[in-house]
Amino acid sequence: MSDFLVDPSRLSSNVEPLILVTRRQQAVTRRTDRHSHARGQLFGSIQGVVTVGADQGRWLIPPVNAVWLPPHIEHDLASHGAFHGWSVYVAEHACAALPPAPRVIRLSGLLNEAVARAASWKEGPLCDAQTRIAGVILDEIAAAPEEALGLSMPSDPRLQKIARTIADDPATRQNMADRAAWAGIAPRTLSRRFVLETGLTFSTWRQRALLLRSLEMLAAGHSVTTVAFDLGYETVSAFIELFRAHFGTTPARYFKRSDSSPPFEMP
């Protein structure tokens, strides 16, 4: 059974307050079962990496990012190691101007500070000053560009079958033709529909799945060398170059960059 951060009855309410902010820290891995709620949710990690999954895709959340989930999106969550994270729950009526689909955003300094301030509020109606801060949070969510830390899932059941097996174990070596035969779809149809439904070619999608899995492994404390060879890269340097091309930095520096970002501190 899921251990919710907020009373589920409050998450189903579309009345005030405009936003609810909460955080949780625990020394063990956190997992929540698939669930949904009427409020939209902005979810972030303070330390470590968290994976959020839904029918629409999977998203990886390092500390410099957050994932936005519109209302009524069924989702689950798993942390990689100890959990330290936070959530902003937005009343459904206020989500109309926010992104209509799940996405990963980068935390701006302003959003970071506004959410930290809101986390200290007492339960109850918002005063005028608090309402203005809540408005800043909503504006920042709406304006933040999407970041490539997610895997869009196709809607075709045959493609979903393939995509889920890759997402679960992206290092498995199996070519597209073999996967197509296993799922009962022609390779040419798989190739064409994968682009139409995910926006990525089959090979690019699998490469992103590998890179996102590498972040999970690095966050769990595995060495760069172990990650590279466990995920099937021929050399460590090949893995590092692909990682740098996608994330803009090396695996060794990725989490150091996260640690040097403005801390999300809450009382």
Residue spans of alpha helices (H) in 38-156: 109-118, 128-143
Q: What pLDDT sits at residue 253?
A: 85
Q: What pLDDT sits at residue 7?
A: 65
* Segments making up each domain of the chain, as ranges: 8-147, 154-257
| 77 vs 265: CA distance, rounded Å | 22
Pick the CATH number of 154-257 from 1.10.150.20, 1.10.10.60, 3.40.50.300, 3.40.50.720: 1.10.10.60
Tokens read off for 187: 């390779």
Q: What pLDDT sits at residue 215?
A: 87
| 21 vs 88: CA distance, rounded Å | 5
Residue spans of alpha helices (H) in 144-175: 157-168
Q: What is the mean pLDDT of each run of 10 residues along the chain (267 residues)?
A: 60 76 84 91 87 90 90 91 88 94 91 92 91 96 90 92 90 89 94 93 92 87 93 94 90 68 44
Rounded to 10 degrees, the C-alpha dihedral 31/37/39/44 comes to: 10
CATH level 2 (architecture), domain 8-147: Sandwich (2.60)
| Model confidence pTM above 0.95 | no
| 256 vs 25: CA distance, rounded Å | 21
Strands annotated E in the chain: 19-26, 31-35, 40-47, 50-54, 57-61, 65-69, 75-79, 83-90, 103-106, 146-147, 150-152
| 14 vs 12: CA distance, rounded Å | 7
Tokens read off for 240: 């590092």
- Dihedral sign for Cα 67, 69, 75, 76, please: positive
